[in-house]
Amino acid sequence: MIKNIPFSEQPRERLITKGVAHLSNSELLAILIRTGSIKRNAIDIGAEIISSCNDDLSILGELTMEELCKFEGVGESKACQLLASIELGKRLRQVKPLRNIRMSSPSEVVGFFYAELADSKVEKFITVFLNTKNEVINWEVISIGSLNASIVHPREVFNRAIKRNAASLIAVHNHPSGHIDPSKEDVNITKRLFEAGQLIGIPLIDHIIIGKEKYYSFKEENQL
């Protein structure tokens, strides 16, 4: 039990006295887990979880409810706490200051969204709204899951663009397989967004597919 560890060395006390940056990954997990089992304390459980991920936090970030519950002392309640904390961390990582961020080239777009999309196990479709200087006004996740025309509809995309006074927009999505070749649905959605943008006066200036360490730009491939 953690109670058997000197008070000054317990994770929560170390966080208070030394600061959160001084805690190990297993100690951070122990604080989230809070209590252990009869045989094992929260630090031991946290250490086992980290060890099972080969000390790779990216693997920790992909653990499921079922996988977490396999660890002794982790039930659904503790698993929920861990998953919620991990997801919050992911979302915080995605928050980037938008002020004066320019997206004038595909490489700039990929650099901004790569961390969020490259390792995602689900397909995400993002629309980036730009001003007349190609500076980012805002960006939104339009859909999560397999792309199809019923999910990504031009009406929804351009309604949001108009509300944000966007001068142009860029579409970005990932292929969880890592392959970047556009599917027929990708081509169809791009065509519909491009045509709608021409009519409305808010042009789609690129659609970028992000894969593993590479990307496909409809603009660079002269498909727009």
Structural domain range at position 167: 106-217
Q: Which one of 32, 66, 94 terminates a domain?
A: 94
CA distance linking residue 206 with residue 218, whole number of Å: 6
Per-residue pLDDT of the chain in tens (224 residues, 90 and over written 9):
555 677 667 888 889 998 888 889 989 999 999 887 778 888 899 999 999 999 888 889 889 999 999 999 899 999 999 999 998 887 776 655 566 788 889 999 998 888 888 878 889 999 999 999 999 998 988 888 766 544 688 998 999 999 999 999 999 999 988 889 999 999 999 999 999 999 999 999 999 999 888 899 999 999 88
Kindly state whether residue 222 falls inside one of the protein's structural domains.
Answer: no
State residue 57's pLDDT score.
Answer: 85
| Contacts with 211 (C-beta within 8 Å, 6 or more apart), sequence order | 118, 174, 175, 177, 178, 179, 180
Please tell me the total count of domains within the chain.
2
Measured N-to-C along each axis, helices 106-117 and 76-94 cross at an angle, to the nearest 10 degrees, of: 170
State residue 209's pLDDT score.
Answer: 95
State residue 79's pLDDT score.
Answer: 93
Give alpha helix (H) positions in 54-210.
Answer: 57-60, 65-68, 76-94, 106-117, 154-163, 184-200
CA distance linking residue 125 with residue 141, whole number of Å: 6
CA distance linking residue 134 with residue 137, whole number of Å: 9
Length of the chain: 224
Kindly state whether residue 223 falls inside one of the protein's structural domains.
Answer: no
Residue 217's CB is within 10 A of a number of other CB atoms, namely 20
Please give the model's pTM, rounded to 2 decimal places: 0.58
Kindly state whether residue 101 falls inside one of the protein's structural domains.
Answer: no
Residue 14's CB is within 10 A of a number of other CB atoms, namely 17
CA distance linking residue 128 with residue 105, whole number of Å: 13
Residue type, 172: V
Kindly state whether residue 151 falls inside one of the protein's structural domains.
Answer: yes
State residue 193's pLDDT score.
Answer: 95
Dihedral sign of CA atoms 140, 143, 145, 146 in order: negative
CATH number at residue 83: 1.10.150
When computed from its CA atoms, the radius of gyration of the chain, rounded to whole angstroms, is: 22
Same domain, 63 and 125: no
Dihedral sign of CA atoms 44, 52, 120, 101 in order: positive
Same domain, 153 and 77: no
Same domain, 120 and 209: yes
